[in-house]
C-alpha cells in the first residue's frame, strides 16, 4: 500500500515538471545538439556534407578575426567585471547600513536599468554619445575638446563597458544586498563590542560571509562578458571602423547569416561555450580550494 502511494506521488511529481523538461529540451538542449552536429561537419558545393570533427575548430583557431574577438572580450571581462562588481558591492554595503525610505527608493532606481532591454539601452546611450544629437559631445565641444570623437575605434570598448556596467550593476547589487540581509546580526554586534568600525566589519565579517553570492555574480558577469553581442552591435551603428569580428558572437552571427557558413559559425559558438565553461569551472575550483583551506 505504501509503495503504491509513493509510486503515485512520484508519477504526479514527474507530470508536474514534465512541461518544464519539455521546454528545456526543446529550446536549450535541442539547439545545442544541433549546433554540435553542425560543428563537426563541413559543407561544400562540391562534395556536400562531410564528417570532419576537427576541421571547423582548426579553422577557428587560425582565424585572426575570431582570435582577436576572443582576446578583446577576455580583456573586457578582466577589466569591466571587477569594476562593476566593486561598485555593486560598495552600494550593497552602503544600503545594508541604512534602512530608510530613501534607501528603498535607491534600490529601485539602481535596479531600473536592468529592466530596460539591452537594445533600448544601447540606442539610448548611442544617442547620448552621438556627435550630432548627443549632449555629451556638445558639452565637450563647449569645454574646448573640439576633436573629441566618443565613437572612435580606440574608445569604443569604453562605451560598451559603460552601457554594460549601467545595465548590470543594479542587478548584481540586489543579489549581494539580499545575501547581506540574510546574515545573522549577532556577528555584527559582537564585532562592534570588540571595537571594530564599519569598514573593518565589512572587510572581515560581511564580505567573507557573502563569498558565495560574490562568486555567483562573478561567474554570471564573466559569462555575460564573454557572450557580448547586443551592446557593441547596437553602438556600432553610430561608429565607423567597427568590424563584424569585434566580438566572437557578432562574428559567428555574421558568418552564419551573411556568409551562410553555418557549420563554421556553430564551431565558433561551441568553442566560446567550452572556453566559458572552462573558465567558470576553474574559477569555482580555485575558490572552493580556498574555502576548504
Predicted confidence (pLDDT) per residue in 68-78, tens digit:
999 999 999 99
Higher-confidence residue: 183 or 82? Answer: 82
Q: What is the tens place of the pLDDT at every residue in 267-286?
A: 999 999 999 999 888 888 88
* pLDDT tens digit sequence for 215-241: 999 999 999 999 999 999 999 988 888
Q: Give 192 or 204, the one with higher predicted confidence.
A: 204
Q: What is the pLDDT of residue 263?
A: 93
CB 176 within 8 A of CB 214: yes
Please name the residues in contact with 273: beta carbons below 8 A apart, sequence gap of 6 or more: none
Which neighbouring-strand residues pair with 44? Answer: 48
Confidence (pLDDT) at 175: 94
Q: Whose CA is closest to 52, among 43, 63, 62, 64?
A: 43
Predicted local distance difference test score (pLDDT) of residue 254: 93
Q: How far is CA 206 from the centre of its chain?
A: 25
* 268: CB partners within 8 A, 6+ apart: 56, 60, 66, 248, 251, 252, 255
Whether 199 shows a pLDDT value over 80: the answer reads: yes
pLDDT in the model for residue 32:
87
Burial environment of residue 287 by CB neighbours within 10 A (0 to 12, 13 to 18, 19 or more): middle
Range with the lowest mean pLDDT among 120-134, 140-154, 189-203? 140-154
As a whole number of angstroms, the distance between CA 114 and CA 121 comes to: 9
pLDDT at 1 over 60: no
Residues of the chain with pLDDT > 90, as a percent, come to 45
Q: Distance of CA 150 to CAs 51, 105, 131, 234, 244, Å?
A: 47, 32, 8, 15, 20
How much is the mean pLDDT over the chain?
87
The dihedral sign for the CA sequence 151, 157, 161, 167: positive
CA angle 237, 242, 244 (to 5 degrees): 95
Domains contained in the chain, CATH given: 64-292 (1.10.3720.10)
**Nearest alpha-carbon partner for 99 in 166, 177, 172, 201:** 177
Amino acid at each position: 500500500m505504501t509503495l503504491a502511494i509513493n509510486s503515485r506521488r512520484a508519477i504526479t511529481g514527474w507530470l508536474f515538471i514534465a512541461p518544464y523538461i519539455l521546454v528545456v529540451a526543446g529550446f536549450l538542449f535541442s539547439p545545442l545538439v544541433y549546433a554540435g552536429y553542425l560543428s563537426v561537419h563541413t559543407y561544400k558545393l562540391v562534395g556536400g556534407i562531410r564528417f570532419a570533427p576537427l576541421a571547423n575548430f582548426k579553422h577557428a583557431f587560425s582565424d585572426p578575426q575570431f582570435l582577436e574577438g576572443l582576446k578583446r572580450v577576455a580583456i573586457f571581462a578582466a577589466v569591466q567585471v571587477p569594476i562593476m562588481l566593486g561598485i555593486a558591492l560598495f552600494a550593497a554595503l552602503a544600503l545594508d547600513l541604512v534602512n530608510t525610505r530613501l534607501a528603498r527608493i535607491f534600490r529601485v532606481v539602481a535596479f531600473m536599468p536592468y529592466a530596460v532591454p539591452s537594445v533600448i539601452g544601447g540606442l539610448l546611450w548611442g544617442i547620448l554619445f552621438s556627435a550630432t544629437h548627443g549632449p555629451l559631445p556638445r558639452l565637450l565641444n563647449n569645454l574646448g575638446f573640439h576633436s573629441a570623437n566618443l565613437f572612435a575605434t580606440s574608445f569604443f570598448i569604453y562605451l560598451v563597458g559603460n552601457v554594460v556596467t549601467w545595465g548590470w550593476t543594479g542587478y548584481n547589487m540586489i543579489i549581494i544586498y539580499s545575501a547581506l540581509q540574510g546574515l545573522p546580526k549577532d556577528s555584527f554586534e559582537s564585532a562592534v563590542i570588540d571595537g571594530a568600525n564599519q569598514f573593518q566589519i565589512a572587510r572581515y565579517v560581511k564580505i567573507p560571509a557573502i563569498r558565495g553570492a560574490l562568486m555567483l555574480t562573478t561567474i554570471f558577469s564573466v559569462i555575460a562578458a564573454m557572450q557580448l553581442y547586443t551592446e557593441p552591435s547596437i553602438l556600432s551603428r553610430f561608429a565607423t571602423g567597427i568590424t563584424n569580428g569585434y566580438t566572437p558572437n557578432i562574428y559567428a552571427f555574421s558568418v552564419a547569416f551573411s556568409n551562410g557558413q553555418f557549420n563554421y559559425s556553430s564551431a565558433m559558438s561551441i568553442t566560446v561555450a567550452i572556453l566559458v565553461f572552462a573558465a567558470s569551472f576553474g574559477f569555482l575550483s580555485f575558490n572552493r580550494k580556498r574555502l576548504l583551506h
